[in-house]
């Protein structure tokens, strides 16, 4: 018997930041992510496809740690890399091949946001 999964999709991802204004400028201006709204001085919300991204200051010391890696899908990794690098985004490496799949190659390039969180560009080249 097939049942409907309880968990259906990611609704929001939270990324810890130290300086909300600086992080908001980075995600909005350097990465071009659509800014939705700010909730006071400690949270800023964005929309990336169907997923909401929350940048926020950790409420308690035990929550103050680096976040998970966000893999941002791009159609042309070389163009995205050049564009972001031109906006001052500091990359850890250039776009490189991760794996050859039967119908595409998986390419990535890793970089850090203004708060030191690791992110990646991800592209499936046919």
Domain count of the fold of the chain: 1
87, part of any domain = yes
Q: What is the tens place of the pLDDT at every residue in 52-84?
A: 999 999 989 988 888 889 999 999 999 999 999
5, part of any domain = no
75, part of any domain = yes
| Tokens 């893999």 sit on residue | 71
Q: Strands across the sheet with 105-112, in order?
A: 70-73, 118-125, 105-112, 96-100
23, part of any domain = yes
What CA–CA distance (Å, rounded) separates 119 from 20? 17
21's tokens: 């204004």
Torsion of CA 55, 64, 108, 101, to 10 degrees: -110
Q: What CATH number does the domain containing 60 carry?
A: 3.10.180.10
22, part of any domain = yes
6, part of any domain = no
33, part of any domain = yes
Show the domain range for 30: 12-125
82's tokens: 């050049």
Q: What is the tens place of the pLDDT at every residue in 1-57?
A: 666 776 778 889 999 999 999 999 999 999 999 999 999 999 999 999 999 999 999
pTM across the whole model: 0.85
């Amino acid at each position: 018997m097939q049942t409907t999964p309880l968990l259906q999709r990611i609704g929001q991802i939270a990324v810890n930041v130290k300086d909300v204004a600086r992080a908001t400028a980075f995600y909005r201006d350097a990465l071009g992510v659509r800014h939705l709204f700010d909730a006071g001085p400690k949270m800023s919300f964005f929309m990336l496809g169907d997923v909401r991204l929350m940048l926020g200051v950790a409420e308690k010391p035990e929550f103050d740690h680096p976040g998970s890696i966000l893999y941002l899908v791009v159609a042309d990794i070389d163009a995205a890399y050049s564009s972001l690098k031109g906006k001052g985004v500091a990359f850890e490496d250039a776009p490189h091949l991760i794996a050859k799949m039967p119908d595409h190659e998986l390419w990535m390039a890793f970089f850090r946001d203004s708060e030191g969180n690791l992110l990646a560009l991800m592209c499936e080249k046919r």
